[in-house]
Amino acid sequence: MAYESLDAYAEQFERERQSSAERADALKNLLFGDAWRDA
C-alpha cells in the first residue's frame, strides 16, 4: 500500500516537472524567440 502511494507521488512529480519545463520553454520563446533553440 505504501508503494502504491509513492507511485502516485512519482506521477505527480513527473507532471509538475513536465509543466515546469514547458513554462521554461514558453519563457525562452517569449524572450528570445526561436534563437535559443539554435544554441
DSSP conformation letters of the chain? -HHHHHHHHHHHHHHHHHHHHHHHHHHHHHHHTTHHHH-
- What's the pLDDT at 2? 67
pLDDT tens per residue across span 17-29: 888 888 888 888 8
Give me the pLDDT at residue 36, please.
58
What is the separation of C-alpha 37 from the centre of its chain, rounded to a whole number of angstroms? 17
Q: What are the CA-CA distances from residue 22 to residues 1, 4, 26, 28, 35 (Å)? A: 32, 27, 6, 10, 17
C-alpha cell recorded at residue 20: 515546469
Residue 26 belongs to domain spanning: 1-38
Q: Please tell me the total count of domains within the chain.
A: 1
